Structure 1
Amino acid sequence: MSSSAVVENPWFRRFNPSDSAPARIVIFPHAGGSASYYLEYANALAPHADVLAVQYPGRQNRISEPTIRSVAGLAEELARELREWADRPLAFFGHSMGAAVAFETARCFERDGVKGPDRLFVSACRAPLLARTSRIHQLPDDELLAEISALGGTDERVLAIPALRELILPSLRADYTAIETYHSSPEATVSLPITALAGESDPNADVDQVGEWERHTTGAFDLRVFPGGHFYLADRTADVVEVLTAHLRG
């Protein structure tokens, strides 16, 4: 896979291209998130893997593109775009909404009989079988932004500038529509192992809810719990990277 091909694909940011790395990790961002939020992770993982950070449409360099308002819709697109990147061992890491998108993308690979990831890392996301009752995507703009601000994960400087708020609102509302209308049955499984990661004080996805991911794999499962809330990974980069690289070394 040549680095020039990546420049032409808006779905991925490859901050530290490595054509010689033995494996690849694909990072699926949270609702309202972008590829650049995970730059520190891409830098930390670079010695061990070629890192593809997903860029959903409707933000940053894809601001002019229409958003996608369903997890299934994002997964179908990503499964198609990622096929050419499966020439090396592949792992998926998804945070919050990104975990659901990563799971459904892996299911697309298995449905189509195409070689896909060999491990799925799901972070700060309740299991698909659990109903989602929040309706943040239906709130008026100011209330939606207040909810997002309370969770963390969004630069407060961006939310303080009216022109920037107007730019990010469509993608925020689309992403929250996607995750808040997402639901899957206990029968929806993948055969690859799942490692679930949780913040011990996460108000959106508590440890038990994250632990229910065990029901969505017919392979191995393990659960890692870290101090912190929904965006525990912002303060635990080294710890999370160690979990990911332990898999790569294994």
Structure 2
Amino acid sequence: MMSANRRFICYQPNPAAELNLLCFPFAGGSATVFHPWAARLPAHVQMFAYQPPGRAQRLREPRCINMSAYIEDIWQGLCEIPDKPMILFGHSMGAFVAYELIRKLQQSGRRLPVKAVFSAAKSPWKNHRTRFLSQLADDDFISALKLKGGFPAEILNHHELMAMCTPFVKSDYHIAESYQCPDGQQQPMPVPAIVFGGPMMTSHKMNCPTGSLCFQHRQSCILFPVDISSSTTKAYGMI
């Protein structure tokens, strides 16, 4: 049975779990992309998938227009998550969100995650991103998403649905494309981290606690990693 607060969805509640896994989706994504993971995680893990405003059950809420708004929205939802050790996972734009949440937790003196997992995202200290797709006209933007891949074709080809989705997808893309760590300089990562990158990505230096950074190249990492399972999470050291 699914349980949800307004911001985080737990598709398979497990009160006896020892560890919380908080997941943050890619630009334009929703909590739904993590639904298949719920039944495949180890028994000691309970997953909470973040549902950004402006989509699904939060459709009528104003979308976030910058990274600060995302972090503030997430911050308000953390109080409804059981107080247990946690791991953060973020894919693409979700990796930036997870990184900023760690910064917020550290600055607030709150419990830090025991681990962070970043997938398919450039270093937060790099100020060069891909070309700004968010500045394209809507039709050109949708065409660019089709060429880019990673976004469900059945949604991209549904004209009425895209008319509703395009504003928040473009907004997310603008946030991801313009994001850079506010400090402007590389800061130590206060938690152990695992970084997954595909064949077009390179390992950027991250200043983490000694021996706590693992960089993995995977052929499919540019797309969303749907092959999550107890065996794969163990093999890659995620959980």
How does the TM-score come out when normalised to structure 2? 0.89
- Partner of 2:233 in structure 1? 241
- Partner of 1:123 in structure 2? 119
* Residue 162 (structure 2) pairs with residue 165 (structure 1): yes
Matched letter for residue 66 of structure 1: P
- Partner of 1:71 in structure 2? 67
Structural mapping, 1:136-151, within 5 Å:
136-151=133-148
- Partner of 2:214 in structure 1? 222
Q: CA deviation at 1:232?
A: 5.3
Paired with 2:147 and 2:43, the residues of 1 have a C-alpha distance of: 34
- Partner of 1:190 in structure 2? 189
Tell whether the 8 Å contact from 1:75 to 1:104 is kept in structure 2 after alignment.
Answer: yes
Q: CA deviation at 1:174?
A: 1.1
Q: Deviations over 1:103-159 (max 9, x none)?
A: 000110000001131111000000011122521111110111122222323221122
Q: CA deviation at 1:47?
A: 2.2
- Partner of 2:99 in structure 1? 103
SS of 2:225's partner is helix
Say how many residue pairs are matched. 234
Higher mean C-alpha deviation, range 72-81 or range 31-40:
72-81
Tell whether the 8 Å contact from 1:135 to 1:180 is kept in structure 2 after alignment.
Answer: yes
Paired with 2:74 and 2:152, the residues of 1 have a C-alpha distance of: 26
- Partner of 1:37 in structure 2? 33
Paired with 2:41 and 2:64, the residues of 1 have a C-alpha distance of: 28
Which of the numbers 110, 132, 135 marks the counterpart of 1:135?
A: 132
Paired with 2:48 and 2:102, the residues of 1 have a C-alpha distance of: 15
* Residue 76 (structure 2) pairs with residue 80 (structure 1): yes
Tell whether the 8 Å contact from 1:126 to 1:213 is kept in structure 2 after alignment.
Answer: no
Q: Deviations over 1:59-111 (max 9, x none)?
A: 11111111102223212321332145361110000000000000000110000
SS of 1:154's partner is coil
The structure that is helix-richer by fraction is: 1
Structure 2: gaps (5+ residues): none
Higher mean C-alpha deviation, range 123-132 or range 64-73:
64-73
Paired with 2:74 and 2:115, the residues of 1 have a C-alpha distance of: 17
Paired with 1:136 and 1:188, the residues of 2 have a C-alpha distance of: 29
Matched letter for residue 228 of structure 2: T
Q: 1:48 to 1:148 in 2, by over 3 A?
A: farther
Tell whether the 8 Å contact from 1:14 to 1:53 is kept in structure 2 after alignment.
Answer: yes
* Residue 145 (structure 2) pairs with residue 153 (structure 1): no
Paired with 2:189 and 2:180, the residues of 1 have a C-alpha distance of: 16
Tell whether the 8 Å contact from 1:41 to 1:241 is kept in structure 2 after alignment.
Answer: no
Q: CA deviation at 1:181?
A: 1.3
Paired with 2:190 and 2:49, the residues of 1 have a C-alpha distance of: 24
Paired with 2:19 and 2:87, the residues of 1 have a C-alpha distance of: 8
Paired with 2:105 and 2:234, the residues of 1 have a C-alpha distance of: 27
Q: What's the C-alpha RMSD, in Å, of the aligned pairs?
A: 2.2
Tell whether the 8 Å contact from 1:35 to 1:54 is kept in structure 2 after alignment.
Answer: yes
Q: CA deviation at 1:233?
A: 1.3
Matched letter for residue 222 of structure 2: H
Structural mapping, 1:173-184, within 5 Å:
173-184=170-181
Paired with 1:66 and 1:213, the residues of 2 have a C-alpha distance of: 36
Paired with 1:218 and 1:76, the residues of 2 have a C-alpha distance of: 27
Tell whether the 8 Å contact from 2:150 to 2:224 is kept in structure 1 after alignment.
Answer: no
Paired with 2:61 and 2:176, the residues of 1 have a C-alpha distance of: 20
